[in-house]
Structure 1
């Protein structure tokens, strides 16, 4: 134990930053204050944007009446100013607005269009996600006094010239289009038969007006990830920009760069391409992703320095945030475990039937893709259903307390309801179970039991003789196909890209998972080619077996459906319908979703399906009407789905009648943080009387934490990027669920390998598991296809792609409740062990470090300035030498001690003596209820880790101050230049090798590179890589010096300083 203590102290040397700083435009002095407090991340606030030389043409009236606030005018001015410059390749430079919800991005964009309109650039194109947002665009233009600018929907035009007569001769104004309409084309041909051609013709080659890509993260997936190809939309967005090099491009997205990959189409920012440090987008991505989250923050800061980026956010102060874990009832667990058993047997049946009928590889591949995607949706619906009771209970309480409730869902399950309706011939006798529908449609459409008739005709056997009695059997199949069309179209209508999005995301995972699935799922298929030869040689006998096989497969299909029917009695109904019903029916609940109808229970207890639209209101406008009813206080509960989560504002607006405080509950955390932020942005916007409360309902199912983990990750990188800082979302405590990082993947690998005995476990399994943990969990994992059993040898192999965290979490939902929880516990324990190891070896990536925010004293010792070539404006970097003092002198200690009152407060000495010395510490009680103490040490000052009373008493005893004095002074004085190891042991391994050891030193020196770091990025990379290897994280640090100056930059390791200085000074002369 002897040497542990001093090492432990140093685990978290630098505190984490407070993340946001109040925001006020610095260089621009026009306009009225924004109606709410606005913040930006502290790393962004440490750099100032360039000077303003552009004079806007927007009228005094607009400015003085506050139609555009100071913040919005600032963005408009910088965008216009940036648009006057050109990139090295001759394209006009673009501007990125990274403002979050509530800063009024819509008005800013309207302002940019208006500014250009006043200068005679009267045509503009505005892209967004959904057609409903056209109304918002019109409203924004109206609100800033530009009502003469008309907005036309692209998809309402006929194909052909937009300026032609049959399109109403539109010569000027704004064309509003969705990303999906950009790839539309007409079948009839003609010169302008695609939307893209129409637009290009309307703009003209020399077009220098505005093109806005709003919510532009939706145009993502341009950059192929893994095997996914760039999407058509992404390519169209790129082509539009390439064909119109003079256009004034504005990218707008609150989550603009939550992932650097989503920036692929932002080629007007001039971060990559000719004349920049990165030749191609891919070079940029590699550089950034390899260096961790810190790198993106540098990119954001650099863009702000150059005047091409602005990112503010409504201050989240006042917003409360809690995670509510829902306990599962006995019945629920029983039902869940039954479902698990059914899925496991279904997997076996699918496997057997596929082998029986000898399905070909391609068919099997798509079958497994469908299977796992349905598997995931099924359990997702079950997870959500477990929370309905709790939500209803919470919602009723909140309404009693005079608040109003917004409930966020991802998907509505409409397609399943329609299928059930059709089967019942338009009659329903109960709420439809979405989960059942998913499973049923999987079995009906994808179970490998082909139709006899088709099969026979394939085998060349003439069936005309028997076809009559066979036809009825054939028809349901056809109907099924048609049915699917109907169901899917209702789901995938443009406004509700919900289900399709969901499936897209599921398939995204199943795409690159299932590519490995089939061959693995069936390891013995490949060896058994001898059957095939035998089949060819003797059609007759094979015909008999196949007929037999088909019969057996049909039989299996029927059995599965029967079992499902039996299970269905216990399956939960459609969440959305049940929620509305429990909360008092449609007359009390405002529903803002993309579905066309709903299932309601009538007064007499019967159940029927009704259309959502009322007589005088078409479905498109319905959501807007419902929103109004909520804002007017006619309804105090709103339920929103994905479809509604763009562009609908539900905050406690000062202008709305309903000013109750909003409580925003999410039942399923969205797949991605983009969506999470988007949804929270509905209730947290500008001009509100009270800030909302967020409640996340997470059930104790292991995989649920996964949704939370993905969101935590996305929120983290959101914090990291969009708002230049990763601690941004940490005040909102989701970080404990973040496993999807390299430590998580490493831990997962150890877990899986230890279960199939390929590796020894790092930690012991959960002690309270009933039964043999490894054996049971192994069985469970075989059941969800993560472990495969070789048929003949019984050898266990891990499925391909098991290391994909998302796949692991998706799949373990299909294990029995106690198993998945134990497995998850085991995984979490392993993860903690992995992280502890990383910290011990100094390999842990902490995000941005903060110096000088706490009790340390930060001084600038030296600064060197270098000009960087190739930059128009402030192109220089500075290398600061910073000294940080973090100890606590005896005077400070006694001063602090004099203020203390607690019975256990005061000076303590260690019981243990090392190297003839004792440790002196000062202790202060901070949490009397839990008996937690804060500790101050002479060499490192205040410690981050709180100690419990028991731990304290184990190692230390309380002494009068005069006894502590000599020990305190000794350590304080020695720690100015002697590391802890030398102090306690008399020697230090590192110092013995002639290296610098800084553990436990009171004064430390850091070298920090600031300024346009991006422009010298490749040089810095080169130096770092040659000296300390390629995988060293770029450590970003934020300093506040004693005189209040803020510095943010890269820490340059001491051994890289002189080579870097040489390199920079040589390029400086040039």
Structure 2
């Protein structure tokens, strides 16, 4: 059976067809499987990694492997990262590696093992970038978990504190420098006034040049470096992305590790990954613009091919935890009569603000009213987003309380906190209640963006100033709900019962007992948000608080799962109160409660209001998750966790339906086949009345504009292209009944039941056994041919009786869709016989598999040059198209392979042009060789040549032992003596021991009871007692207790009480 799918198909496949179980491979002796159900996208599972040849076992402690501290899955990522770092790209930079594992798999331990390998091979300095300084504790935990005791330097501030007149302190010159992306773009401090980026580069280079730094450059949570386009203006690019790119350019030999579960949600966000070797000198794509342009024309299927090719070349791995143990459900939150009245009054207020804004811009002679309108729609969206969050609170609280009642732990996820509205409130000293975030958003827009001063005279415009004040008074009169975060915490018992992990600095809480409200600082105990969030997380994991609230500030890096190693092992119920627009943030938030080694999988609850405009947020995230799955998992369905898939309206079918809706509504007609009672809920009896109602809605949404002629007709505004996102955004501003009416009409335009328009996947097909084989040549061109074809059913009668003359028959099916059929020319089987499952279609298919992307420019040139030779083929067969194919084995031809299947991801290419493609590739290769020969054997040409492999650096056992041995502390002296013989004492130690022996000092070690007491005293920092707890001697006033202890505790006994200071100094030096 050969099943094909392309980039224009629509299908709905089960999760079993999207994921495959990860296969445990024992790369190192004694490696253990990963603790958890791990899966890999179906397309990536069909691609094998290159052979593993890197000697990783030499640098890692054997117990880290045999005890399962590093699972086979994690060892695979570490090994291929180290193996990839041996490659030098044609431009001279060291190649990088991309760990795209999903949240909870254990990317931190993989990073720690990569760093440990470099430490053992003589590379002492490494830079680890992440999103929050609080994650430095997680970095230390991951390093210690695998037995690595490298020093973790806590950012540039610790470097500043350790700076002296002679340079950095010794303990900060080497180790792992943990820093944040925000620090990359901040200014310098101190006398030198170097930028933080310069400070980091200086630390990495040490005493040598930056170009020689070959340590690890870890870009953890690297999705923070997106939003960079080389051809865009500097203001349009992200400063963090520009700094990350500059850092990679200044450190060309750094071992770059890109690490994120959501590294690229769109192809344009790939620009910062310069070390993947996809574009640059001596590459098929000279620049990122060429690379992006070619792949974007091919659609999402090309992105799937890219992910599969990166894995095949050993550049990328992406595994994820199975959601087999998780549960998903969408919870409908009904609106009460009061909620509907509140929403309709808010919508009416914003319609009045819109009309007043247009008139004020005209009266004040505003030169660019479009800027005011953009600010209006931005504030409009934020207002209704916060209003919807507040209206969801009762349903969210009901889910959370239900979870607590049955012994589960609710985790409430949202994005914003509304703190700006809190600080803008006038009565912070004696608040009368929780602050309404909606009111703050609207007030801020009116005060900042509503024009009230004439641009010609510079004087206040009378009507505009008065109208703004009238709108402010109307806003104050509206009964708007309080912020969703405050309502959620208060509804679950307040801060004493809810662990809040957000980024806000202060909050209003209810005073228990005496009533009222007061303002409270969240930093009163810890001093900063990171420490507060870490403390709150510890209380939640310890079971001291059984409910948690997380925002965008705490949605990356932290773990809130049911960890068997913590006291709170209750199953988590993750209630998504506010779904983010960004796919990266959605995946990060959902991954907080789903991690490796959990005792139970989470229960996900997505709360949606019974409001048509709510579809916008679910649809937008579903579309981004779909794209994210294609780019990071080689299958666009892979990121659509749970039931979010069917919420996507932004498809080809949805956009076409919206354009038809606009076209017919502007013309004063309804789409054919639309049922008036179903769309308008029985409130409209005639078509013209329904059209007028739809036109009024689109006019309020500023998508239509009314014509000046007396007929009162309206038309689509210039620039409206049928954006589903804009339509659903502005739909939120309509009254509840109008939203429902217009959205039902939109669904009717989509075909009544909107199909989940996801892209290519394995389409359904009748079972037809087909044995296939693939052969490849040096240029990675492969042709998939059928070796045997077996008849599975008799062919249907193709021709029975002539019924000439022939002709065409057309009948109108819908208003814009025509079905054209051939007139009967013969007796034909019944339609059911034509569509019987036994009918088969045999077609020869040529796929180019393997590393195809580098060949795309040559293949396109070959296709353009030989277009005339394909004139007889259908148009769909004359263009390049990425396909996925599944070949099921023939049980009769190959009994051993019965039930198995092989999957291919490749580029469909006309078979007639294979020879021409080989000739074009040979011609380009010859031109490249001639250009290289003409340039001569210069150093520049040698650097720009083919990629080179470095030799593996040997492991230094001394450095390995140093990296895997804990540094000595005061507690180290109280540990039991090791069984191994101790090394010979130095002359100084021997002399000190001889003097003690001559003084009659005892040689016995402290007893266990004394050891415990001494340890407690040192832990409490109180080694100042006049009686030594080891030798029980009364110390004279001339001897400091600390001096006596330094000798007595190390040697095992002290000399005579009251020894001379010189003797004690010698003893201290020996210790």
| Alpha-carbon distance in 1 for matches of 2:844, 2:249 | 48
Superposed displacement of residue 1001, structure 1: 2.2
Corresponding position: 1:40 with 2:45: no
SS in 2 for 1:18: helix
Superposed displacement of residue 383, structure 1: 1.1
| Alpha-carbon distance in 2 for matches of 1:767, 1:352 | 33
Question: RCO higher in 1 or 2 (8 Å CA, sep ≥ 6)?
Answer: 2
SS in 1 for 2:849: strand
| Alpha-carbon distance in 2 for matches of 1:253, 1:882 | 41
| Alpha-carbon distance in 2 for matches of 1:981, 1:662 | 63
Corresponding position: 1:242 with 2:241: no
Please tell me whether the aligned partners of residues 705 and 715 of structure 2 are also in contact (alpha carbons under 8 angstroms).
yes
- Matched with 1:300 is 307
- Matched with 1:115 is 117
TM-score by length of 2: 0.74
Corresponding position: 1:72 with 2:78: no
Over 3 Å counting, the alpha-carbon distance change for 1:425 and 1:84 in structure 2 is closer
Please tell me whether the aligned partners of residues 43 and 1038 of structure 1 are also in contact (alpha carbons under 8 angstroms).
no
- Matched with 1:49 is 49
Superposed displacement of residue 619, structure 1: 3.8
- Matched with 1:596 is 505
- The partner residue of 2:470 within 559, 577, 580 is 559
- The partner residue of 2:542 within 602, 626, 632 is 632
- Matched with 1:774 is 691
Root-mean-square deviation (CA), in Å?
3.6
SS in 2 for 1:340: helix
- Is the deviation greater in 247-256 or in 162-171? 162-171
Please tell me whether the aligned partners of residues 160 and 191 of structure 1 are also in contact (alpha carbons under 8 angstroms).
no
The superposition leaves residues 187-210 of structure 1 with CA deviations (integer Å, 9 ceiling, x where unpaired) of 888473452454256422211111
Over 3 Å counting, the alpha-carbon distance change for 1:283 and 1:12 in structure 2 is closer
Corresponding position: 1:219 with 2:225: yes
Over 3 Å counting, the alpha-carbon distance change for 1:733 and 1:13 in structure 2 is closer
| Alpha-carbon distance in 2 for matches of 1:261, 1:999 | 45
SS in 2 for 1:412: coil
Superposed displacement of residue 65, structure 1: 2.6
- Matched with 1:465 is none
Please tell me whether the aligned partners of residues 343 and 736 of structure 2 are also in contact (alpha carbons under 8 angstroms).
yes
The superposition leaves residues 449-482 of structure 1 with CA deviations (integer Å, 9 ceiling, x where unpaired) of 24xxxx8xx9xxxxxxxxxxxxxxxxxxxxxxxx
Please tell me whether the aligned partners of residues 526 and 532 of structure 2 are also in contact (alpha carbons under 8 angstroms).
no
| Alpha-carbon distance in 1 for matches of 2:913, 2:668 | 45
- After TM superposition, the structure 1 = structure 2 runs for residues 126-525 of structure 1, keeping only pairs within 5 Å, are 126-158=128-160, 165=167, 170-186=172-188, 190=192, 192-196=194-198, 198-200=200-202, 202-203=204-205, 204-223=210-229, 229-361=236-368, 364-420=369-425, 423-450=426-453
Over 3 Å counting, the alpha-carbon distance change for 1:88 and 1:326 in structure 2 is same
The superposition leaves residues 263-284 of structure 1 with CA deviations (integer Å, 9 ceiling, x where unpaired) of 1111111112233322221222
- Matched with 1:715 is 625
| Alpha-carbon distance in 2 for matches of 1:101, 1:405 | 19
| Alpha-carbon distance in 2 for matches of 1:238, 1:999 | 57
| Alpha-carbon distance in 2 for matches of 1:645, 1:856 | 46
Please tell me whether the aligned partners of residues 291 and 1031 of structure 1 are also in contact (alpha carbons under 8 angstroms).
no
| Alpha-carbon distance in 2 for matches of 1:981, 1:95 | 62
Corresponding position: 1:816 with 2:818: no
TM-score by length of 1: 0.74
| Alpha-carbon distance in 2 for matches of 1:744, 1:784 | 19
The runs of 5 or more residues in structure 2 that have no matched partner are 1-7, 803-821, 891-896, 926-1071
Over 3 Å counting, the alpha-carbon distance change for 1:88 and 1:554 in structure 2 is same
Alignment size in residue pairs: 856
Superposed displacement of residue 1063, structure 1: 2.0
- After TM superposition, the structure 1 = structure 2 runs for residues 790-939 of structure 1, keeping only pairs within 5 Å, are 796-798=715-717, 800-801=719-720, 803-832=722-751, 846-849=759-762, 856-868=767-779, 876-882=780-786
| Alpha-carbon distance in 2 for matches of 1:320, 1:984 | 54
The superposition leaves residues 116-172 of structure 1 with CA deviations (integer Å, 9 ceiling, x where unpaired) of 111111111111112221221122112221123323313554499899636777321
- Is the deviation greater in 137-146 or in 107-116? 137-146
The runs of 5 or more residues in structure 1 that have no matched partner are 1-9, 459-534, 536-542, 869-875, 891-909, 918-978, 992-997
Please tell me whether the aligned partners of residues 850 and 906 of structure 2 are also in contact (alpha carbons under 8 angstroms).
no
| Alpha-carbon distance in 2 for matches of 1:644, 1:572 | 25
Corresponding position: 1:693 with 2:603: yes
Superposed displacement of residue 884, structure 1: 9.9
- Is the deviation greater in 402-411 or in 1025-1034? 1025-1034
| Alpha-carbon distance in 2 for matches of 1:887, 1:616 | 76
| Alpha-carbon distance in 1 for matches of 2:329, 2:845 | 38
Over 3 Å counting, the alpha-carbon distance change for 1:609 and 1:1000 in structure 2 is farther
| Alpha-carbon distance in 2 for matches of 1:352, 1:767 | 33
- The partner residue of 2:853 within 1006, 1014, 1026 is 1014
Superposed displacement of residue 831, structure 1: 2.6
SS in 2 for 1:671: coil
Over 3 Å counting, the alpha-carbon distance change for 1:368 and 1:36 in structure 2 is same
SS in 1 for 2:358: helix
Superposed displacement of residue 797, structure 1: 4.3
Please tell me whether the aligned partners of residues 883 and 1003 of structure 1 are also in contact (alpha carbons under 8 angstroms).
no
- The partner residue of 1:1034 within 875, 882, 886 is 882
| Alpha-carbon distance in 2 for matches of 1:785, 1:884 | 61
- The partner residue of 1:1059 within 913, 920, 927 is 913
The superposition leaves residues 603-656 of structure 1 with CA deviations (integer Å, 9 ceiling, x where unpaired) of 343122222245467543111111111111222211111101111101011111
**Could you say which structure has the larger radius of gyration?**
2
SS in 1 for 2:88: coil
SS in 2 for 1:663: strand
Please tell me whether the aligned partners of residues 740 and 805 of structure 1 are also in contact (alpha carbons under 8 angstroms).
yes
- Matched with 1:920 is none
| Alpha-carbon distance in 1 for matches of 2:626, 2:824 | 36
Superposed displacement of residue 1018, structure 1: 3.1
- Matched with 2:489 is 580
SS in 2 for 1:127: strand
The superposition leaves residues 651-693 of structure 1 with CA deviations (integer Å, 9 ceiling, x where unpaired) of 0111111111111110121112211110111000011011111
SS in 1 for 2:882: coil
Over 3 Å counting, the alpha-carbon distance change for 1:762 and 1:128 in structure 2 is farther
Please tell me whether the aligned partners of residues 61 and 147 of structure 2 are also in contact (alpha carbons under 8 angstroms).
no
Superposed displacement of residue 224, structure 1: 6.7
